[in-house]
Chain A
């Protein structure tokens, strides 16, 4: 056999690959550097660099007369966030994000619970795909679908007419705040679409945390005389909470930063994302746009910090 040799240590082979391989074996730190270099440089320079540059801009201000950026350190731009018009935007967005998160948790829970506790074998796979496909399918198409559904001549109106319940819709739309000319230009519409688009992100973490609950814990509660409501309140809900919190990180963060949904389906009142978009685009006020975009970062920072303390990251 040609390759079988009687040498105990084989001679160094020539060839670039072999020499490089020897070199890297002797210097594992160089290998680590080669592995980490490109991704860290890319993310560090392109992403973090731009992000820091943006944050820096929020400490500049814009000259009201010339419209040019005044490169002097100031907190004036942040102060602008507190004027009522801007503060309303922040408040509106945070309230919406909180409501969307709450509603998503309520809708997601039964699906996650069923998938975790009752679905087996083939059904488990169907449930998984049933969540993954809508989660991954096109964001814009999903919004578009709701534009079709909520339109005045769309399926909702049609269905309610058939059921002779159109008066209900009209009554709802006549309400202040949540109402409007039609569903597609009301807060109600924005709310529904937000839930639709971000709710799937809630299901998988809840399912993961429920799967870790031993089934006999639930039976134990029932054996001890707990009725279903008590079992839910004292056993299931606390155990699922880390999953809910983990899921809410997504629903909350994604709602906070979205500017397309409220623009396509909603009233003309702005959300944070729209404000950022408008400030940097038409208004050309980059410092204010930057300051606005710091708001979700700070809110998410606080949120993540709280979530970490509740142990939500184990459920991801």
Chain B
């Protein structure tokens, strides 16, 4: 099967800034693909390369097997939901949604009907007569979505579409987006710098840093088996064990990651690895307690179920964990 979007060694440089630097990726048709990374890591630039607003300095891009370089945005069957929504202020909501069909020459009645259906799909039926200025942020976001989806694009690009919404609305929209994607079967490429959002929504995630992909894999891969220190740090509060700590455990490696919830306190079975240390801090986070332990200069965070007894600050405790929960990383 041809990939929906294919990047081969794609770079985009702005003068000295390497916004995107030798990226290889292949997004499958129907996939929900997330691009995750800190600010300035090149996510938006990647998206703009797919949409056609930027041209690669180097490398090759294909969309469903067809070369995309030199093809203007208006000839790509790819649509974007912009970070600031970019609704046309002079047009009504209905005309905004129908815009793509209008410029393609679809008749008035037909496009009105299609636009109304699209508005109903994003749960804004009857909002067509309003102007963008009369909608809330969340509503504008839905209009932007409807305006893109009405064109039935082969790929939908979303640039931090939930960035401006409050937490509750955000969670609600995450679910709606996910189920929309499932029912329409359109390939979604979703940019975010919120790891929770990427982990909960995506089929696969690419973690970006400095214009390069650090790791590409399923949410489980990324979460449980970070391959670099950067991914481990960025994706969650994974512990990164130093080579000195690893040596104490009889392992010789540069670094390894260990999830906080994989560590137990006090238990000591033969098959588990153990470390001892001093409790530095405890905090209560509802369902779990977060315990910070110092093991000869190595900080380790433990996430323990709230039902477990909490050790006193300054107490000496033993940490135990399975070798299988630990992932040796390339030094990065």
Which residues of A come within 8 Å of B, CB atoms?
1-12, 21-22, 25-26
The yes or no answer to B68 lying at the interface (CB within 8 A) is yes
Query: Shortest distance in angstroms between B33's beta carbon and chain A's nearest beta carbon?
Result: 16
Provide the B73-103 mask, 1 if CB < 8 A to any CB of A, else 0: 0111110000000000000000000000100
Q: Are B154 and A8 in contact (CB under 8 A)?
A: yes
Q: Are A10 and B101 in contact (CB under 8 A)?
A: no
**Contacts A3-B101, A3-B105: A9 and B110 contacting too (C-beta < 8 A)?**
no
Q: Are A8 and B114 in contact (CB under 8 A)?
A: no
Q: Out of A3, A4, A9, A26, which one reaches B76, CB within 8 Å? A: A9
Report B-chain residues with C-beta under 8 Å of the C-beta of A3.
101, 104-106, 151
**Contacts A3-B104, A26-B70: A8 and B110 contacting too (C-beta < 8 A)?**
no
Query: What is the chain A residue whose CB lies nearest that of B52?
Result: A25
Q: Are B70 and A7 in contact (CB under 8 A)?
A: no
Beyond A1-B114, A3-B101, A8-B76, 14 extra complex contacts between A and B, CB < 8 Å: A2-B106, A8-B4, A8-B63, A8-B77, A9-B63, A9-B71, A9-B75, A9-B77, A10-B77, A11-B75, A21-B72, A21-B74, A26-B70, A26-B72
A-B contact pairs, 29 of them (CB 8 A): A1-B110, A1-B114, A1-B152, A2-B110, A3-B101, A3-B104, A3-B105, A3-B106, A5-B77, A6-B154, A7-B77, A8-B63, A8-B65, A8-B66, A8-B76, A8-B77, A8-B78, A8-B155, A9-B63, A9-B64, A9-B66, A9-B75, A10-B76, A10-B77, A11-B75, A21-B72, A22-B72, A25-B72, A26-B70
**C-alpha gap A177/B77 in the complex (Å):** 80
Task: Please classify the interface of chain A as helix (H, G, I), strand (E, B), loop, or mixed, using the class held by over half of its residues.
Answer: loop
Report B-chain residues with C-beta under 8 Å of the C-beta of A6.
154
Q: Are A12 and B110 in contact (CB under 8 A)?
A: no
Query: What is the chain B residue whose CB lies nearest that of A25?
Result: B72
Report B-chain residues with C-beta under 8 Å of the C-beta of A9.
63-64, 66, 68, 71, 75-77
**C-alpha gap A5/B154 in the complex (Å):** 9
Query: What is the chain A residue whose CB lies nearest that of B103?
Result: A3
The residues in B between 258 and 314 inclusive whose CB is less than 8 angstroms from any CB of A are: none
Query: What is the chain A residue whose CB lies nearest that of B104?
Result: A3
**C-alpha gap A61/B85 in the complex (Å):** 66
Report B-chain residues with C-beta under 8 Å of the C-beta of A8.
4, 63-66, 76-78, 154-155
**C-alpha gap A1/B107 in the complex (Å):** 10
